[in-house]
């Protein structure tokens, strides 16, 4: 079946602009996660959605970052007033529940100039 | 967030078994042990996971110490396609299963 998809695959933006990154999870997966990976580093947890529960936003680095998940499916990560340190690959993952494997998308590479 | 410790890098000859260690001395009773690998320019790929008992699947085996403070990922016959960064991750199913990645082990497979 279809895996996790993300769009766009690459995004170049100017410092100060807002960007939106999209994630389509695997159908039927109730849990959705966003991570950030800076060049040469491991993944950092950003935010987690589970069903209709309030999201866990504990990993968001600043109030410029926000995310929503509409209808329990598609999610959008928004970064306002982008800074150069926001340049990274943003990865989305989904899972059936909260104890099983997470399946990752290919990521969106964000470059802030 | 529970921490894991892995060697920064390892090498293996092609066709030989590889044992990738991970220490997680602060593991709690609700933590699952996950292993993922990441090839260059790709998202992480699920390898295997377990709670207390050893696990086997088509990709690998996971050996979990009796006290659960360490685990070993076993690739039975390394191939060139197994060259990747391998991450050992603990996640607590009762608080959301968020993954906190360390720096992982970079595996080099020598032909």
A27/chain B closest Cα distance in angstroms? 18
With a pLDDT cut of 90, the percent of chain A lying above it is 76
Average predicted confidence (pLDDT) for chain A: 93
A10-13/A108-112 β-pairing: parallel
A38-91 residue pLDDT tens: 998 889 999 999 888 888 999 999 999 999 998 879 999 999 999 999 999 999
pLDDT band at B91 (very low <50, low <70, confident <90, very high): confident
Instruction: Note the pLDDT of residue B99.
Output: 84
How many beta carbons lie within 10 A of that of residue B28, not counting itself? 11
Chain B, window 14-53: residues with a beta carbon less than 8 angstroms from a chain A beta carbon: 32, 34, 42-46, 49
Q: Which residues contact B92 (CB under 8 A, 6 or more apart)?
A: B2, B28, B30, B31, B32
The whole-number average pLDDT for the span B98-108 is: 89
pLDDT at B10 > cutoff 60: yes
Measured CA to CA, the distance from residue A17 to residue B31 in angstroms comes to 40
Q: Which of A60, A93, A45 is nearest to B98 (CA)?
A: A45
Measured CA to CA, the distance from residue B63 to residue B71 in angstroms comes to 6
B71-85 residue pLDDT tens: 999 999 999 999 999
Rg (CA), chain B: 13
B29-72 residue pLDDT tens: 888 999 999 998 889 999 999 999 999 999 999 999 999 999 99
Sheet containing strand B70-75, edge to edge, reads B18-23, B70-75, B61-64, B55-56
Q: Hey, are the CB atoms on A91 and B44 less than 8 Å from each other?
A: yes
Whether the CB of B93 is below 8 Å from some CB of chain A: the reply is: yes
A65-69/B55-56 β-pairing: unpaired
Rg (CA), chain A: 13
* Closest CA in chain A for residue B43: A106
Measured CA to CA, the distance from residue A11 to residue A109 in angstroms comes to 6
Instruction: Note the pLDDT of residue A53.
Output: 86
Q: Are B24 and B3 in contact (CB under 8 A)?
A: yes
Instruction: Note the pLDDT of residue B2.
Output: 57
The whole-number average pLDDT for the span B10-19 is: 97
Q: Which residue has the higher pLDDT, A53 or A92?
A: A92
Instruction: Note the pLDDT of residue B102.
Output: 83
Q: Hey, are the CB atoms on B101 and A42 less than 8 Å from each other?
A: yes
Task: Choose from A99, A106, A107, A108 for mutation: most chain B CBs within 10 A.
Answer: A99
For B37-101, give the DSSP string. Answer: EE-TTS--EEEEEESSS-EE-SS-EEEE-TTSSEEEEEESS--GGG-EEEEEEEEEGGGT-----
* Closest CA in chain A for residue B40: A40
On the CB side of B63, how many CA atoms lie within 13 Å of its CA?
A: 9
Q: Which residues contact A62 (CB under 8 A, 6 or more apart)?
A: none
**Residue A47: in which H helix or E strand, if any?**
strand A43-50
Instruction: Note the pLDDT of residue B24.
Output: 93
């Amino acid at each position: 079946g279809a895996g996790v998809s993300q769009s766009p695959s690459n995004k170049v933006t100017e410092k100060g602009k807002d960007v939106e990154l999209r994630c389509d999870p695997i159908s039927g997966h109730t849990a959705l996660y966003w991570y950030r990976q800076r060049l040469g580093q491991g993944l950092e947890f950003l935010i987690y959605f589970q069903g209709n529960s309030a999201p866990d936003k504990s990993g968001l680095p600043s109030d410029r970052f926000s995310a929503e998940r509409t209808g329990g499916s598609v999610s959008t990560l928004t970064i306002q007033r982008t800074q150069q340190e926001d340049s990274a690959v943003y990865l989305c993952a989904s899972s059936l529940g909260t104890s099983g494997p997470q399946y990752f998308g290919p990521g969106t590479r964000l470059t802030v100039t | 967030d529970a921490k894991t410790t892995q060697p920064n890098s390892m090498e293996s000859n092609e066709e030989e078994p590889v044992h990738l260690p991970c220490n997680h001395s602060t593991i709690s009773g609700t933590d699952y042990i996950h292993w993922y690998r990441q090839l260059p320019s790709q998202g992480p790929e699920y390898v295997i996971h377990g709670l207390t008992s050893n696990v086997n699947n088509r990709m690998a085996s996971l050996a979990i110490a009796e006290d659960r403070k360490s685990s070993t990922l076993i690739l039975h016959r390394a191939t060139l396609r197994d060259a990747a960064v391998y991450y050992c991750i603990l996640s607590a199913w009762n608080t959301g299963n968020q993954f906190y990645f360390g720096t992982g082990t970079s595996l080099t497979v020598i032909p």
